[in-house]
Chain A
């Protein structure tokens, strides 16, 4: 199944080349060069995984992560950072990030994580649907 990815980074040259490489691997890629643009995309579309740079001008990666999860808790976010520390990783996981990758990221590794993200999201969406159905059956009282 084609993975739908939102790639967020303020480095436009990085977005261009990553987008091309990921598309060549069969993924459907949308790019955003700021947190604000990313949040607009999240409002308008559904993604299997969001690959998000930790350090961006204005709203940074962790604040963006919080805002994304507030809009849609099922969205899976993989953070990209220039300096991966255990402390940052723990903070990111507490805020709901699925994973944490140090730049320059290995694309094969990132692809594996994206596929995991897609699978995890499908499970969460299925659970949500099941819960909604239960609520309907309970409240309608047929």
Chain B
């Protein structure tokens, strides 16, 4: 049985798997810290049972840490929820600023692992485009991964949104000539299929060190 490669579908699944694995790892870290701090409170109580006085200030420090990690975990779940809802409608009018924002929070861990600072510069105004939201996220995720892979540590990758007369552009800035050269023949077959699915074009600019994805409402 050979239905031919479903590049768009497979790319989407790969991005889904990679993103949820990263989110689950972050949640595990937050839960581990909560667990150990709860265990530390138990340790203090055991010591109190043996006659050592309870230190209220230390108790408050630990409960504060637990509260911080719960806030962190809640933020991670909210991001997961936004990500999950990106598949609600196959084609939808979206704001590229919001998409870039979601890409940012979903990619922070990947950037940290590569020791690259990731920052987003939204456009000054809402930048609406009609496209396939989840597939656009998948495409941008691939672009971002490629940039992170070839940039080298200690650098800053800027994701900049620019509003156009009839659509908008997302640029990945901070790439040097070597990084762009290492990108090879990007976009490849999978990326080209995604570009077609979301109605976008991709340009690599060696002079300004950036990769851009342009979407038009025409």
Contacts and interface: CB of A to CB of B under 8 A. Distances in A.
A29 B95 CA distance: 50
Instruction: List the 3 closest A-B pairs by CB distance, nearest first.
Output: A104-B32, A82-B28, A17-B36
A140 B62 CA distance: 60
Given A17-B37, A17-B40, A24-B43, A57 B25 contact: no
Nearest to B116: A57
Interface of B: 21, 24-25, 28-29, 31-33, 35-37, 39-40, 43, 47, 62, 65, 68-69, 112-115, 153
A11 B114 CA distance: 16
Interface residues of A, number: 19
Name the prevailing secondary structure of the B interface residues: helix
A103 B31 CA distance: 9
Central interface residue in A16, A17, A18, A24, by most chain B CB within 10 Å:
A17
Given A57-B113, A57-B114, A104-B36, A17 B24 contact: no
A80 to B, nearest CB: 9
Contacts of A58: 115, 153
A21 B113 contact: no
27 contacts: A11-B29, A11-B33, A13-B65, A13-B69, A14-B32, A14-B33, A16-B65, A17-B33, A17-B65, A21-B39, A24-B47, A55-B25, A55-B113, A56-B113, A57-B112, A57-B114, A57-B115, A58-B115, A82-B24, A82-B28, A83-B24, A103-B28, A103-B29, A104-B28, A104-B31, A104-B36, A107-B36
B123 to A, nearest CB: 30
B40 A82 contact: no
A92 to B, nearest CB: 17
Given A13-B33, A83-B24, A104-B28, 11 more contacts: A13-B65, A13-B69, A14-B29, A14-B33, A21-B36, A21-B43, A57-B113, A57-B114, A82-B24, A83-B21, A83-B28
